[in-house]
């Protein structure tokens, strides 16, 4: 197999990582998948295990990463990504964004591979500029509950640029906005699995705050297309990938109520600390550099995602941990 067609994907058993594995297999790559399975699930990639061009290593990339043979590309997608997850495992979150990124940049340098790192709209914190352009430096509370993720990702970006500028490593940075689709974890605490899980269990939908805060949700296939194009481009500065179709959380709850046909209502809970009041990507850079725009409308993406959650075994829906995330939220 040609070097260029060998890719290492970290966080491969997670939501985004597993979809990336599918895409790179489809594009004819040999995929080396890595995950420590803290938040990832082998079920997301078990359909790939029988393929000779797919190999899985259970490994925590915060420790030294060894991959035998040549590598063309590295995609660093290992990290807890939901606010509840990074409140539960703050130190691992900081380590994988910093030490993990350092190990993978070192690996990219040693293998002469191009590396793309998964950054996030969280680098903008609670943004005072709207919509968010890549040139905005952000408004992050370093010592707040979300600081462990936001600052790890900001450090990741700085380290990535340093490896590019100082060592000449070929680097790419994608800033990912809220993304949804099949293989999200029902218990990850994020708004979409939370609302759909509640509707399926016959519980009321919990809106945090008054629901006037906004998010902009991108379907996973659109995101993967944007990432694929960015990897193959020669653009080094960060690029926002997300869907600018902005909605309030209150309206989003109403959409989920309609979609699931539930007779449940919404209930209001206090807003978590430092919860961003607004978020919407400015995607003019992605449009211009990559010729990319999202194609899948929320109505369509939500339908597919709802079908996925409905198809999960009943036990998954009623596991205790689906309901216990409230105790981790700092308000
Ligand atoms: N949210 C909510 N109810 C829930 C879970 C989340 O109202 O059961 C809100 C949360 O406070 C935030 C938005 O939905 O304003 C999106 O939260 P999520 O955890 O999905 O990710 P974030 O965009 O904050 O990283």
pLDDT per position as a tens digit, 274-298 = 999 999 999 999 999 999 999 999 9
Residue 149 annotated to the active site:
yes
Q: What is the pLDDT of residue 330?
A: 76
**Domain count for the chain:** 2
Token pair recorded at residue 303: 């339908």
For residues 147 and 8, membership in a common domain is answered with yes
The Cα 304–Cα 17 span in angstroms is: 19
For residues 173 and 222, membership in a common domain is answered with yes
For residues 109 and 75, membership in a common domain is answered with yes
User: To the nearest whole number, what is the mean pLDDT of the chain?
Assistant: 96
For ligand 1, atom 18, name the residue with the nearest CA: 190
What lines the ligand 1 site, CB under 6 Å? Answer: 82-83, 178, 189-191, 194, 206-208, 213, 215, 249, 272, 275
Q: Is residue 29, in this structure, part of any structural domain at all?
A: yes
pTM of the model as a whole: 0.96
Task: Give the domain extent around 267.
Answer: 184-216+244-278+297-323
Position 3 pLDDT exceeds 80: no
Percent of the chain residues past pLDDT 70, beyond the cut: 98
For residues 156 and 189, membership in a common domain is answered with no
Token pair recorded at residue 195: 């609302």
Q: What is the pLDDT of residues 71-83, one digit of tens each?
A: 999 999 999 999 9
Find the 255 Cα to ligand 1 centroid distance in Å.
15
For residues 203 and 79, membership in a common domain is answered with no
Find the 141 Cα to ligand 1 centroid distance in Å.
18
Find the 191 Cα to ligand 1 centroid distance in Å.
4
Q: Is residue 251, in this structure, part of any structural domain at all?
A: yes
For residues 141 and 209, membership in a common domain is answered with no
For the chain, the 3-state helix, strand and coil shares in percent, each to the nearest 5, are 45, 20, 40
**CATH label of the domain that carries residue 28:** 3.40.50.720
Q: What is the pLDDT of residues 172-221, one digit of tens each?
A: 999 999 999 999 999 899 999 999 999 999 999 999 999 999 999 999 99
Q: What is the pLDDT of residue 194?
A: 95
Do the Cβ atoms of 98 and 152 come closer than 8 Å? yes
For residues 202 and 232, membership in a common domain is answered with no
| Beta strand residue intervals within 102-149, DSSP E | 114-120
Q: Is residue 292, in this structure, part of any structural domain at all?
A: no
Phi, psi of 215 (to 5 degrees): -140, 165
Which DSSP letter does residue 16 get?
A: H
Q: Is residue 290, in this structure, part of any structural domain at all?
A: no
The Cα 26–Cα 58 span in angstroms is: 23
SS (H, E, C) 71-115: CCEEEECCCCCCHHHHHHCHHHHHHHHHHHHHHHHHHHHHHCCEE
Phi, psi of 306 (to 5 degrees): -65, -40
Q: Is residue 289, in this structure, part of any structural domain at all?
A: no
Going by pLDDT thresholds of 50, 70 and 90, the confidence category of residue 1 is low
For residues 30 and 135, membership in a common domain is answered with yes
- Ligand 1: atom nearest CA of 205 is 8
For ligand 1, atom 11, name the residue with the nearest CA: 208
Q: What is the pLDDT of residue 322?
A: 54
For ligand 1, atom 1, name the residue with the nearest CA: 191
Q: What is the pLDDT of residue 135?
A: 98
Position 142 pLDDT exceeds 80: yes
Q: What is the pLDDT of residue 331?
A: 73
Q: Is residue 136, in this structure, part of any structural domain at all?
A: yes
Percent of the chain residues past pLDDT 90, beyond the cut: 92
């Amino acid at each position: 197999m040609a070097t260029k067609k060998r890719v290492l994907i970290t966080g491969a058993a997670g939501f985004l990582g597993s979809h990336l594995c599918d895409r790179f297999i489809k594009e004819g790559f040999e995929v080396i998948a890595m995950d420590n399975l803290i938040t990832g699930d082998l079920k997301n990639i078990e359909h790939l295990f029988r393929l000779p061009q797919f190999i899985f290593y259970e490994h925590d990339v915060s420790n030294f990463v060894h991959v035998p043979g040549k590598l063309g590309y590295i995609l660093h997608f290992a990290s807890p990504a939901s606010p509840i997850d990074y409140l539960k495992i703050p130190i691992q979150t900081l380590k994988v964004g910093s030490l993990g990124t350092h190990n993978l940049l070192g690996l990219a340098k040693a293998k002469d591979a191009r590396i793309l790192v998964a950054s996030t709209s969280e680098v903008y914190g609670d943004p005072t500029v709207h919509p968010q352009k890549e040139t905005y430096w952000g408004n992050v509370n370093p010592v707040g509950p979300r600081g462990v993720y936001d600052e790890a990702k900001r450090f990741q970006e700085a380290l990535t640029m340093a490896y590019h500028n100082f060592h000449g490593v070929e680097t790419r940075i994608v800033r990912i906005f809220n993304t949804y689709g099949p293989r999200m974890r029902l218990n990850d605490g994020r708004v979409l699995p939370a609302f759909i899980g509640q509707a399926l269990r016959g519980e009321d939908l919990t809106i945090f705050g008054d629901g006037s805060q906004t998010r902009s949700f991108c379907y996973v296939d659109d995101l993967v297309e944007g990432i694929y194009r960015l990897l193959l481009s020669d653009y080094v500065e960060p690029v926002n990938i997300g869907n600018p179709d902005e909605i309030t959380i209150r309206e989003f709850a109403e959409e989920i109520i309609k979609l699931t046909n539930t007779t449940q209502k919404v209930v209001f809970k206090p807003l978590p600390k430092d919860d961003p009041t607004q978020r919407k990507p400015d995607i003019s850079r992605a449009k211009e550099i990559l010729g990319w725009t999202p194609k899948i409308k929320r109505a369509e993406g939500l339908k597919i995602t709802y079908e996925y959650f409905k198809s999960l075994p009943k036990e998954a829906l009623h596991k205790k941990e689906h309901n216990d995330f409230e105790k981790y939220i700092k308000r």
